[in-house]
Structure 1
Amino acid sequence: MLETLKKDVCVIAKRAQHDGLCKHKSGNFSARDPETGLIAVTPTGLDRDEMSPRDIVVMDLDANVLENESGLRPTSEVLMHIALYTSRPEIRAIAHTHSPYATAFAVLNKPIPAIVYEVANLGLTKARVPVAPYARPGTPGLAVSVSQAAAEADCILLEKHGAVAVDSRDIYEAFLKAAYIEELAELYHHSLTANAGAEPDSFPQEELQRWAYPAEIKFPNR
């Protein structure tokens, strides 16, 4: 069931670990099939170096496990994934990471401002990566907190916890957003350090919304 989706989720979960976005058994990933509405989600308590597509769990949005070939349970934070898919039906994939710089700002409960223009592609509406207020991992409270923050942005910090990125295309794009969160957080940290703690300049949302592919580039037969 959902074999291609399970393979994609497994590949990205492994890549996220190898790229340092999450270590050991932390973080979780999922993707939603647009035809059935079912989701493929990483299991709990399994080192990703040992993970295979058959370990990915298939569920519905009522939290029913429909397939777990290897007998593993889905991530304990699956309620957060379900809440995001339910509150924003266009979402196709979710990446939840514990990358160090992003998590440091999550610990500080400090949103990350749009200090570089590349954040124009991160689905922000207030020129920042917001922080979802703390709730215990795995609880309905966390699911509510994160889904409310996702009404503002595709990229979110979870207070005292980590980061989440969502995307309406696929798991690879959600992973890229999670990677950009960490890169932005590292740049912000270095900027604050170099500037003796003073806030660096950042872009207003109006400027971010002005970006467009250059009309001056010409293609044949068009």
Structure 2
Amino acid sequence: MLERQKQDVVEMAQKAAAWGLCKHKAGNSSVRDSETGYVLVTPTTVDKNLLTPRDIVVMDLQANVIEAQSGLRPTSECLMHLEIYKTRPDIFAVSHTHSIYATAFAVLARPIPAVVYECAILNLQEGVIPVAPYGRPGTPDLSNSVIEPIKRADAILMERHGAIAVDKSPYEAVLKAAYIEEMAEIYYHALLINGGRDPGGFAAAELQQWAYPSQIKFKSPA
């Protein structure tokens, strides 16, 4: 069932691990199938480097397990993934990571401003990577905590927990998770260089103005 989508989830999880966004058994990944509406999610407590498509668990949006070929349970944070898909019907992939710099700001419940223009890809409607309030992992409190911030951005922090990135594409969701970590690291160093004073960031309106240069012209084939 949904073998291509299972492979997408495996590749998301392994890419996050390879890029240093998650270590050991941390973090989780999912995709939503556009036809069935089913969500395919990583299992709990499995080393991402050992994952196979058989290990990926298929669920519906009501948290019913449809298929678990390896007999594994879905990640304990699957309710969070399901809530994100219900809140954002426009997205089809979720990458949850525990990257170091992003998580450090999450511990402080400190939003990350759009310090460089690359933040434009993160759909930051308020010009910052917002923070979801603390919720104990594996509880409805956690899944409910992400509802409001994920409406305002494709990249959010989770207080004292980690980060979440969403996109239509599995690859782009992980890439956005990597951008969160890069923005967090840049922000950290900017604060350090600036004696702890906040460097500020781009306004949301400025981030939304980006467009490919109209001056670039392509010749028609002869």
TM-score w.r.t. length of structure 1? 0.98
CA distance in 2, matches of 1:155, 1:198: 24
Aligned residue number for residue 72 of structure 2: 72
Deviations 1:34-89 (A, max 9, x none): 11100110000101121111101111101011111111000000000000000111
Per-residue deviation at 1:104? 0.1
- For residues 132-168 of structure 1, what are the alpha-carbon distances to aligned partners after superposition, in whole Å with 9 as ceiling and x for unaligned? 000101111111111111011110000000000011x
Is 2:29 the counterpart of 1:25? Answer: no
Aligned twin of 2:165: 165
- Length, aligned pairs only: 221
Q: Following TM superposition, where does structure 1 have runs of at least 4 consecutive aligned residues deviating by more than 4 angstroms?
A: none
Matched, 1:16 2:16: yes
SS at match of 2:160: coil
Deviation at 1:201, TM superposition (A): 3.4
- Residue 51 (structure 1) aligns with: 51
The 5 A counterparts of 1:122-161 are 122-161=122-161
What is the letter of the counterpart of residue 213 of structure 2?
P
Is 1:98 the equivalent of 2:98? yes
Cα distance in structure 2, aligned partners of 1:140 and 1:68 = 22
Over the aligned positions, Cα root-mean-square deviation in angstroms equals 1.0
Partner residue of 1:62?
Answer: 62
Aligned partners of 2:103 and 2:45: how far apart in 1?
21
Task: Give, in angstroms, the shift of residue 19 of structure 1.
Answer: 1.2
Sequence identity percentage: 60
- SS of the equivalent of 1:151 reads helix
Partners of 2:213 and 2:112 in 1: how far apart?
28
**Gap runs ≥5 in structure 2:** none
2:153 is paired with a residue whose SS is coil
What is the match of residue 180 of structure 2? 181
Q: 2:144 & 2:45 partners in 1: Cα distance?
A: 24
For 2:217, give the aligned amino acid: K
Which amino acid in the other structure matches residue 150 of structure 2? Answer: A
SS in 1 for 2:151: coil
Q: Which stretches in structure 1 are left out of the alignment for 5+ residues?
A: none
Structure 1 residue aligned with 2:204: 205
Q: CA deviation at 1:191?
A: 0.5
